[in-house]
Chains A and B, each alone.
Chain A
Amino acid sequence: MSAQPNLPDLTPPVSSPARPPMNFGTRAMRVHFGYRKATNLLVGGLAILATVIVIAPLVAILIYLIYKGASSLNVAFFTRPPAPVGEQGGGMANSIFGSGVILTLASLMGIPVGIAAGVYLAEYGRGKLLGNAIRFTADVLNGVPSIVMGIAVYSLIVMQQKHFSAFAGGVALAIMMVPTVTRTTEEMLATVPHSIREAALGLGVPKWRTTISVALKTASPGIITGCMLAFARVAGETAPLLFTAFGNQFWSFKLNEPIGALPLQIYVYAISPYDEWHRLAWAGSLVLIVLIMVSVTLVRIFASRGVLKGGS
């Protein structure tokens, strides 16, 4: 580095009058600090209170479910289908399996479509008529009552095939997942800085490859969260399954047959007149919530593997 010839003079001008040092010991200052501390305490306390209010219902529900349902949990619950009316015992094994099948189908169909639509909105459809139309449709679709989704899929698939099926249930839940996944994907892609895309384009990487390997990958933690939200939301849905998957008291391993699902079985048991079935409904609710929590946690752990030190 060459020497700078004309460095500015940084010493303060001598003529400026010296400012008196601040006196923190005065009474006015002490009152002021007391006021500031109190404000800090109050606002901090309110934030904690708000957190407690938000979390309390969740904890309360979980505790109540354990209290009501844990006693009915046994090996049979996880290994056997429901017992016929009037018989003791039985479980929800077929419903747990059925929920797994329906949710897998829904995720396999809903998540790719949702992500693809989100990519279109963020990367190609900005300011275009089609883009705005898709964005509007997704927002409206998000607000459609789930029972309406069930009836729509009933007339589109069940009426054509003339029978209820696991596949129809999967389609109904997939359609419900799409808007959430689409909008989160779009929003997360919008947070990826333009400079990172330019870096890839500048290296001679084609736009499609930049979108998939750079933009989507950078946005993936947020997109995974969106998918998990959509999954957790539809995992507990009953209404869209009433006219599609229909429910089944027996094992079913075929996609084109009616299949049991946890929310459906809970619904059937909860509105029954039998105490035994009420207890099983509580147990089913507990299992449903725990399964959702476990699957979301597993995906998070799996997704966070391989994240590097110091990355965003």
Chain B
Amino acid sequence: MGVGILVEHLNAWYGTTHTLQDINLHIPANHATALIGPSGCGKSTFVRCLNRMHETNPIARATGTVKMGDIDIYNDASPVEIRRRVGMVFQRPNPFPTMSIYDNVVSGLKLNGFRNRKILDETVERSLKSAALWEEVKDDLKKKSGASLSGGQQQRMCIARAIAVDPEVLLMDEPASALDPVSTSKIEDLIFQLKSQYTIVIVTHNMQQAARVAENTGFFLNGKMVEFDSTHKIFTNPSDKRTEDYITGRFG
């Protein structure tokens, strides 16, 4: 089951650039939350702070509190532990090219030393079924490389890979932006189903997508969170003038 995320006074820098400025936000458990905003506004940096991927860049740093359930992720746990509990799906599908489809899906388990064949088999089937990919690949699981699939299939495989480790939170950084409309709608259906089990945070440039999949939406601009509310309210009656300008297409 997913956990809620409480973000307090989160600041992030790349070198001297202040990319995130005092973000305060409560992301409810088992819901999908969309983050929208123009390019470079800090949405991606924000989700990368939620699984401490931000700090893998040597010039990056972050301050503030991020609580996932009872755990303060910056003080109570190591980045590696956090990333095991917070799955991430990236903008471009990034399968491991040397691994089969099977090994790609259970790579999170195998690379952490888990070897029980029976459980691995079950995990592959369960994860690929959750990611709506099982029927398409079940005959080639160990024969084909993960990189041999189409872009949309690769991205669903990456989602299967992320949920195979049974995370509590799933971060998606523009998961459909490199995909065609058919694959995009498959991914969206998937998000719709997955949010009953995971807390989902999805960054998107596509406002219809935010409207379709998310209960709550946050609008980011220039490193600040301008507005956070129910998706319905953001798209029909935003409180802030800048939000209204953005969603009506006056800029961005």
Contacts and interface: CB of A to CB of B under 8 A. Distances in A.
A312 B98 CA distance: 7
Contacts of B82: 204
A1 B209 CA distance: 9
Interface stretch (B32-40, B105-113, B227-235, B239-247): B105-113
A214 B108 CA distance: 11
Interface in B14-65: 51, 53, 56
Given A193-B94, A201-B83, A203-B161, A308 B100 contact: yes
Chain B interface bracket (under 10, 10 to 19, 20 to 34, 35 or more): 35 or more
A201 B145 contact: no
B83 A196 contact: no
Interface string B70-87: 000000000011111101
A198 B111 contact: no
Nearest to A214: B96
Interface in B94-124: 94-100, 107-108, 111-112
B193 interface: no
A202 B53 contact: yes
Contacts of A195: 90, 92, 94
Contacts of B80: 204-206
Interface residues of A, number: 26
Contacts of A209: 111-112
A308 B145 contact: yes
Nearest to A217: B98
A204 B185 contact: no
Interface string A261-286: 00000000000000000000000000
A238 interface: no
Contacts of B87: 202-203
A132 interface: no
B88 A202 contact: yes
B83 A310 contact: no
A205 B185 contact: no
A309 B90 CA distance: 24
Nearest to A4: B208
Interface of A: 1-2, 193, 195-196, 198-206, 209-210, 213-214, 217-218, 220, 308-312
